[in-house]
């Protein structure tokens, strides 16, 4: 099924400007989004929960602020979707897992509070691979999300619901989490912009943990400027998160259109395979940046290929520890048994899906006595090699370019029974996660079948401003047809 352009709500700044001046009410903007939900949710399944009453109350609060003559904030009235691993007080937060059935968080994630303080209106919680473990959103306990460009294909994962909600025009902004590519990969497959910030730039407080040394929260948007504005809103120090960097939110919009003249850009040849349409898009992107005045060269960083095997030891190891808290005692699902041990085993057996069980077992094995040094210790050494290789590359380059993904969106079921093939989807996105560096996916081309291809811009730690300048330049060079929103 070929995608066609969907009616756009407008940029985040344009929506907020209309709401702040009273030209359009936040309630009217919300109504547009909710109408799109009614039209498309049955086909796409972006949401686990659509919070109509709460959204209407938030929109009404924004309108009251406007009528009082005050400024509701830079995202006044902007509808936003939240990945369902972000805590929302009194609203179910499931991680798309049966094991969290019935759990209502007693607090909001910091990013949720910051969006509300900026005037945004959350319309619901989006579908994801269970506990953010997957690359296709096929691992959800509530069924898959479908790609708006082609309903027979995956939207990517794990933040597939958020990506599809933006790509289909339901909302102009959504939040996802990125552990090894879970923002960037679905952004690429859905033809939108996705940004993973530097580790620590955005608070993780209220994000249900998968792998704590890797998890980061970031935005999905239809334009680089919208993603930059959203990141400015949600970033900044948070004393509730011990890993939060003690520095203000990055200033991105002020330099966004400064261009790329004189910037040194490295094209990572290790991720450019022959006859690869995603690799071809990177070459075209590099040519466009060179034409805009950047100094572009090819670079080889073979250590980055260590990222995939290292990640799939480190992340499951951290997951096995983080997910031990789901024991049937404190919250969520409880399957009774004659004793505590049986109850715990039954609860976890019924509550977790196959992929989560697989990763818990992988991680527990890697951390077990006699194997810790051989697996987890070696993986951490490989992670160090990746970090050092990046450090060396950034001595010569301001940013690096790679494909975001090895392929375009693939058909449902084509990889789900082959975990290694599925894990390969994260080949290009994992290295920057291991290093804690920022990275962004920008839609840049369409393949012959009309499916979007994303180009990934990598930058050193705290290099968001330069990264977003390059992303904006790429966006300006890309054909309009390569970007969402779309409708199935």
Distance CA 270, CA 248 (A): 35
In a domain? residue 260: no
Distance CA 324, CA 391 (A): 35
Distance CA 199, CA 197 (A): 6
pLDDT at res. 5: 45
Q: Is 245 left (phi over 0), alpha (psi -120 to 50) or beta?
A: beta
pLDDT at res. 2: 45
pLDDT at res. 74: 98
Question: Which residues form the domain of 221?
Answer: 4-249+474-487
Annotated catalytic residue 158: yes
**pLDDT by residue, tens only, the chain of 488 residues:** 445 445 557 899 999 999 999 999 999 999 999 999 999 999 999 999 999 999 999 999 999 999 999 999 999 999 999 999 999 999 999 999 999 988 999 999 999 999 999 999 999 999 999 999 999 999 999 999 999 999 999 999 999 999 999 999 999 999 999 999 999 999 999 999 999 999 999 999 999 999 999 999 999 999 999 999 999 999 999 999 999 999 999 999 999 999 999 999 999 999 998 678 999 999 999 999 999 999 999 999 999 999 999 999 999 999 999 999 999 998 899 999 999 999 999 999 999 999 999 999 999 999 998 899 999 999 999 999 999 999 999 999 999 999 999 999 999 999 999 999 999 999 999 999 999 999 999 999 999 999 999 999 999 999 999 999 999 999 999 987 776 666 65
pLDDT at res. 1: 43
Q: What is the 3-state secondary structure (H, E, C) of the chain?
A: CCCEECCCCCCHHHHHHHHHHCCCCHHHHHHHHHHHHHHHHHHHCCEEEECHHHHHHHHHHHHHHHHCCCCCCCCCCCEEEEECCECECCECCCCCCHHHCCCCCCCCCHHHHHHHHCCCEEEEEECCCHHHCCCCCCCCCCCCCCECCECCECCCCCCHHHHHHHHCCCCCEEEEEECCCCCHHHHHHHCCEEEECCCCCECCCCECCCCCCCCEEEEEECCHHHHHHHHHHHECCCCCCCCCCCCCCCCCHHHCCCCCCCCEEEEEHHHCCCCCHHHHHHHHHHHHHHHCCCEEEEECCHHHHHHHHHHHHHHHHHHHHHHHHCCCCCCCCCCCCCCHHHHHHHHHHHHCCHHHHHHHHHHHHHHCCCCCHHHHHHHHHHHHHHHHHHHHHCCCCCEEEEECCCCCCCECCCCCCCHHHHHHHHCCCHHHHHHCCCEEEEEEEECCCCCEEEEEEECCCCCHHHHHHHHHHHHHHCCHHHCCCEEC
Annotated catalytic residue 203: no
pLDDT at res. 29: 98
Q: Which of 33, 177, 182, 433 is catalytic?
A: 182
Q: Which CATH number does the domain housing residue 119 bear?
A: 3.90.1300.10
State the residue for tokens 């759990």.
103
Distance CA 320, CA 301 (A): 31
Distance CA 89, CA 67 (A): 27
Write down the pTM of the prediction: 0.96
In a domain? residue 129: yes
In a domain? residue 44: yes
Count of domains forming the chain? 1
Q: Is 6 left (phi over 0), alpha (psi -120 to 50) or beta?
A: beta
In a domain? residue 227: yes
In a domain? residue 430: no
In a domain? residue 229: yes
Annotated catalytic residue 98: no
Q: Which of 25, 33, 83, 96 is catalytic?
A: 83
In a domain? residue 404: no
Q: Tell whether the torsion through CA atoms of 41, 167, 221 and 461 is positive or negative.
A: positive
In a domain? residue 139: yes
Q: Which of 33, 96, 140, 158 is catalytic?
A: 158
Q: Chain centroid to CA 228: how far? A: 14
């Amino acid at each position: 099924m070929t995608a066609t352009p969907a009616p756009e709500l407008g940029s985040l700044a344009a929506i907020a400007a209309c709401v702040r001046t009273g030209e359009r009410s936040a309630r009217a903007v919300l109504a547009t989004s909710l109408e799109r939900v009614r039209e498309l949710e049955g086909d796409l399944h972006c949401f686990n929960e659509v919070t109509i009453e709460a959204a209407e109350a938030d929109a009404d609060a924004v309108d009251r602020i406007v009528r009082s003559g005050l400024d509701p904030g830079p995202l006044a009235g902007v509808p936003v979707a939240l990945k369902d691993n972000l805590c929302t007080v009194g609203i179910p937060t499931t991680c798309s897992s049966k094991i969290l059935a019935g759990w209502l968080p007693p607090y909001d994630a910091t990013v949720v509070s910051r969006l509300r303080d900026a005037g945004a209106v959350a319309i619901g919680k989006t579908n994801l691979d269970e506990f953010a473990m997957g690359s296709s959103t096929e691992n959800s306990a509530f069924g898959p999300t479908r790609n708006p460009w082609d309903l027979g294909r995956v939207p990517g994962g794990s933040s597939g619901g958020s990506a599809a909600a933006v790509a289909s025009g339901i909302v102009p902004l959504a939040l996802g989490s990125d552990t090894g590519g879970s923002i960037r990969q679905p952004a690429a497959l859905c033809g939108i912009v996705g940004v993973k910030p530097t580790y620590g730039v955005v608070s993780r407080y209220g994000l249900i943990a998968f792998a704590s040394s890797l998890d980061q929260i970031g935005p999905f948007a239809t334009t680089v400027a919208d993603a930059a504005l959203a990141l400015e809103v949600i970033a900044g120090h948070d004393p509730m998160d011990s890993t939060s960097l003690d520095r203000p939110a990055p200033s991105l919009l002020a330099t966004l259109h400064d261009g790329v003249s004189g910037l040194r850009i490295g094209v990572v040849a290790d991720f450019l395979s022959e006859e690869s349409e995603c690799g071809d898009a990177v070459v075209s992107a590099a040519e466009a940046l060179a034409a805009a005045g950047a100094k572009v060269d090819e670079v080889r960083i073979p250590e980055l290929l260590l990222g995939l095997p290292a990640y799939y030891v480190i992340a499951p190891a951290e997951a096995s520890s983080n997910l031990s808290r789901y024991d049937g005692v404190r919250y969520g699902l409880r399957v009774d048994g004659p004793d505590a041990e049986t109850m715990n085993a039954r609860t976890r057996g019924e509550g977790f899906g196959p992929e989560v069980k697989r990763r818990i077992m992988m991680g527990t094995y890697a951390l077990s006595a006699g194997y810790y040094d051989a697996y987890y210790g070696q993986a951490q050494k490989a992670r160090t090699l990746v970090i050092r290789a990046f450090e060396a590359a950034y001595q010569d380059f301001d940013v690096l370019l790679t494909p975001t993904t090895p392929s375009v969106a693939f058909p449902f079921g084509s990889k789900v029974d082959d975990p290694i093939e599925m894990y390969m989807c994260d080949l290009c996105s994992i290295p920057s996660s291991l290093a804690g560096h920022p990275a962004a996916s920008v839609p840049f081309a369409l393949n012959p079948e009309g499916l979007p291809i994303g180009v990934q811009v990598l930058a050193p730690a705290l290099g968001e401003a330069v990264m977003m300048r390059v992303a904006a330049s790429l966006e300006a060079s890309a054909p309009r047809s390569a970007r969402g929103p779309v409708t199935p």
